[in-house]
Amino acid sequence: MPMKINIKRVDKTLPLPKYETAGAVGFDVLCRESAEIAPHSIVLIPANVIVETPPGYMLMVCLRSSTPRKWGLLMPQGLGIVDNDYCGEEDELKIQVYNFTDRVVNVERGSRIAQAVFVRVDTAEWNEVEQMRAPSRGGFGSTDR
């Protein structure tokens, strides 16, 4: 059974986000405004929605798999993590993109360049110890020896 999620559109002339197929785990996010992204620069594109993510979840925002190939854009931080308390009247989702090409990239209003997924999360209670139980594995990337 789907979760009931409160959502607000900033511009009601654009449609609500939707899951494009029955098997999709992410819903597509639309660009509210056209954007011109200069070569090798970072821009925030407003995504037209404020989402009230339920307690115990985060909203993970990722680019659609076609975005780097089609637009020449990447998310500089890899993906966006939206806390469940980021849902006030001014908390519109934004898609941070980096133009890795040598040309200006134009993204039109209504374009689907990103998707979002609700992910279950938990918080940790730290138990500080003097020594860890497992033996060391040998450092960063140690399984590729």
- 66 within some domain: yes
Q: Does residue 141 lie within any of the structural domains?
A: no
pLDDT of residue 97: 97
For 39, the domain range is: 6-122
Count of domains observed in the chain: 1
Residue 103's CATH number: 2.70.40.10
Pairing type for strands 49-52 and 35-37 reads: unpaired
Whole-number Å distance between alpha carbons of 108 and 129: 53
Q: Is residue 110 part of a domain?
A: yes
Cβ atoms of 30 and 108 closer than 8 Å = no
Q: How does strand 35-37 pair with strand 94-99? A: unpaired
Asked if residue 131 is part of any domain, the answer here is: no
Q: Is the dihedral of CA 31, 33, 38, 42 positive or negative?
A: negative
State pTM to two decimals.
0.86
Residue 131: which residues within 8 A CB-CB, separation 6 or more? none
Binned average pLDDT, 10 residues per bin, the chain of 145 residues: 93 96 94 98 98 96 95 94 95 97 98 96 94 80 60
